[in-house]
Amino acid sequence: MLRQRFVLDTSALTDSATREKEGYKTLCEGVNSIMDIIAEARLSYELSCYIPYPSVYNELYGFIKNNGCEEEVIAKIDTWLVKKTPDRYEVKIPSKIFYEYVDYMRSRINKGMTIAEDSIWEAATECLFLTSSAQDKKNIEIEIERDVIGSVVGKFRDKYRTALRYGILDSGPDIDVLLLAKELDAAVVASDMGVQKWAEQLGLRFVEARSFPAMIKEYLHHKKRD
């Protein structure tokens, strides 16, 4: 059997759709279970799963820590995932320029969102001041600002990100996943539509995060049957 290589995005282990499909109750349970599957596949098939280091690894580590997962989960990640820094200079695409472009685009997108949010706060506060008995804008009730304006800003932020960030690459870790997969001639595992789009552009194999555990289980099922 041809040796399989996969490069994992953070979403390959943390995707909520994967947890729902596989019946994992928490993020920690999902990551732990997927790592067990990866471990068994590596021992049975010499199947290799890579994670770009330090970008994606640090991002994943942050998810694990913020969700209160046990140290055992980190140990499995360190044991069964191969940490590798992509060669951003030798991969046959203008990777460094591409990398800086994505970082620049992310900063511009976030800057635009911040400006829009500030405008929402300013306009809403002005309207509240004009329609209330407050003598000063500072006297407008904090609860109203938080519950009313804050809620509107939160909904705006979600819609803004969906409109401007869906289907594009907007982070360094996204680029590292693609560069490392290109370097290793490996498949990309992610749930991000931007990563999928650019994986196709670069001629890389792509595996949906929610399909990855079932695919590895299928390998293992046939191995045991043989």
User: Which 8-state DSSP code applies to residue 132?
Assistant: S
213 and 142 in one domain? no
113 and 40 in one domain? no
The rounded mean pLDDT for the chain is: 84
For residues 39 and 60, give the distance between their C-alpha atoms in angstroms, rounded to a whole number.
Answer: 18
85 and 189 in one domain? yes
Between 60 and 106, whose confidence is greater? 60
Q: Which domain holds residue 197?
A: 5-92+174-225
Torsion of the alpha carbons at 16, 22, 27 and 32, rounded to the nearest 10: -140
User: Quick one: pLDDT at residue 1?
Assistant: 47
Lowest mean pLDDT of 45-54, 80-89, 169-178, name the range.
Answer: 169-178
29 and 133 in one domain? no
How many Å is the Cα radius of gyration of the chain?
22
152 and 52 in one domain? no
Between 161 and 62, whose confidence is greater? 62
Mean pLDDT of all residues in 77-83: 97
User: Quick one: pLDDT at residue 206?
Assistant: 96
Distances in Å between the Cα of 87 and the Cα atoms of 53, 100, 116, 161, 175 are: 11, 15, 37, 30, 11
11 and 82 in one domain? yes
212 and 140 in one domain? no
User: Quick one: pLDDT at residue 128?
Assistant: 67
3-class secondary structure, 4: coil
User: Which 8-state DSSP code applies to residue 6?
Assistant: E
